Amino acid sequence: MLILNKTAGVFFKPSRRKIYEFLGSFHFHPGKLFLHKLVLGIETSCDDTAAAVVDEAGNVLGEAIHSQTEVHLKTGGIIPPVAQQLHRENIQRIVQEALSASEVSPSELSAIATTIKPGLALSLGVGLSFSLQLVDQFKKPFIPIHHMEAHALTIRLTNKVEFPFLVLLISGGHCLLALVRGVSDFLLLGKSLDIAPGDMLDKVARRLSLIKHPECSTMSGGKAIEHLAKQGNRLHFDFQPPMQRAKNCDFSFSGLQHIIDKMIMQKEKEEGIEQGQILSSAADIAAAVQHTVACHIAKRTHRAILFCKQRGLLRPSNAVLVVSGGVASNLYIRKALEIVTNATQCTLLCPPARLCTDNGIMIAWNGVERLRAGLGILHNTEGIRYEPKCPLGVDISKEVGEAAIKVPRLKMKI
Ligand code: KG4
Ligand code: ZN
């Protein structure tokens, strides 16, 4: 048996005593009988070390998560070697906690599912090598997981949602619209051509120094913008939604971010303050930024719904739009999307907040979905590699753009 040396971050062959210590740290229940298959999910693609045990019926038996957000907030962004080190320091404890909470011993697992793509190379590597050791040690099947597919299918754990459905993933690292036709059958309709909306909101919040704001000091950038926006008047600033002429479902946020940066610089001059101090108009800027981002996301999503309906890819009525990712917890953006789904006779669904952001449950659940469908279950892990870059499904975004669907104007009265 090999175990992870927490400080060195490497696996080593321990003494027999250490093996008993490690195995003894799990709560074994040898007499217990599980009716369902059990999957351990492990997630380390970005800045969360997470693990969970989920059964075939979708019951979450145990979970644990270690978030690195606080550390990365201090450095103003994720530094990959720092993220890697933190994953190394926490993965064994997190997996152990998830297993202990579930009262499942590793030998009772049906499979181990782990995110292997896409994500930060250094982060993915920690989860993969730890998982492969477990797989080898307990002789379990391995299920490699695509992080975005896992986000997209999470809704089927909490709601009865049949294929096909549309999914919008918006977070700090993701921004895409896809049609989900099956467990591993995705059509990519559009994605961000530059940065993700959460990344942009984080950058604007940093530029506005919201971390120094007494009400926002512990919030992520996006959450701080949502919080301050409630106190501001969006009409004091007029930012145009990006890509208004491009009749596709792609997104762009960095141009808008630069326009906002310039505006902030100008306001600092007008107010006679230094960069790093909080503008008196910060709340108005936050409100205008949030509104513009919401309108941009809503418009692209509206076009995706119309495209899918036009091509018979979605039911004409009662089609489902799932919104997930950290930015999906923004209630203003959700309201904008609700206006779109009401106008197109769709149902808007959103997983609970803790399942919208990165977690181990979604990985374990994706493992369950794959186990049930008999897709991608490996009994030999030789040659398995992580893939930092990996598209989601079949990219039909060009076809979507060629259809050039004109989206009717909706009144965004939020
Ligand atoms: O899904 P997530 O936890 O991590 C990844 O990016 O994968 O999402 C984090 C992102 C951050 O950019 C954060 O600023 C944003 O989601 N976010 C929000 C809100 N809460 C978190 N953005 C807008 N409104 C919020 N309430
Ligand atoms: Zn994610």
Mean pLDDT by 10 residues, the chain (414 residues): 34 40 46 77 96 96 93 82 96 98 96 97 98 97 98 97 97 95 98 97 96 91 97 96 96 97 96 93 98 98 98 93 95 98 97 94 98 97 96 97 97 91
Measured from the alpha carbon of residue 47, the closest ligand is: 1
Q: State whether residue 216 is helix, strand or coil.
A: coil
> Given the structure tokens 């979905």, which residue do they identify?
369
Judge if the beta carbon of residue 296 lies within 6 A of ligand 1: no
Q: Say how far apart CA 334 and CA 328 lie, in whole Å.
A: 7
Per-residue confidence (pLDDT) for residue 77, from 0 to 100: 79
- CA 263–ligand 2 middle distance (angstroms): 31
Per-residue confidence (pLDDT) for residue 19, from 0 to 100: 39
- For residue 375, the cross-strand partners are none
Any idea how long the chain is? Answer: 414
Considering only CA atoms, which residue is closest to atom 10 of ligand 1? Answer: 172
Per-residue confidence (pLDDT) for residue 316, from 0 to 100: 86
Per-residue confidence (pLDDT) for residue 32, from 0 to 100: 61
Judge if the beta carbon of residue 172 lies within 6 A of ligand 1: yes
Quote the tokens at residue 75: 């450095």
The distance of Cα 115 from the centroid of its chain, to the nearest Å, equals: 12
Measured from the alpha carbon of residue 172, the closest ligand is: 1
> Given the structure tokens 């009717």, which residue do they identify?
408
Judge if the beta carbon of residue 330 lies within 6 A of ligand 1: yes
- For residue 55, the cross-strand partners are 38
Ligand 1, residues 203, 223, 333: which to mutate, most atoms within 8 A of Cβ? 223
Considering only CA atoms, which residue is closest to atom 14 of ligand 1? Answer: 222
- For residue 349, the cross-strand partners are 322
Considering only CA atoms, which residue is closest to atom 16 of ligand 1? Answer: 326
Residues 6 or more apart from 153 whose CB is under 8 A from it? 180, 183, 362, 365, 366, 369
Residue of 94, 95, 125 whose CA lies nearest to 10? 125
Per-residue confidence (pLDDT) for residue 33, from 0 to 100: 60
DSSP 8-class letter at 356: H
Q: Say how far apart CA 229 and CA 241 lie, in whole Å.
A: 17
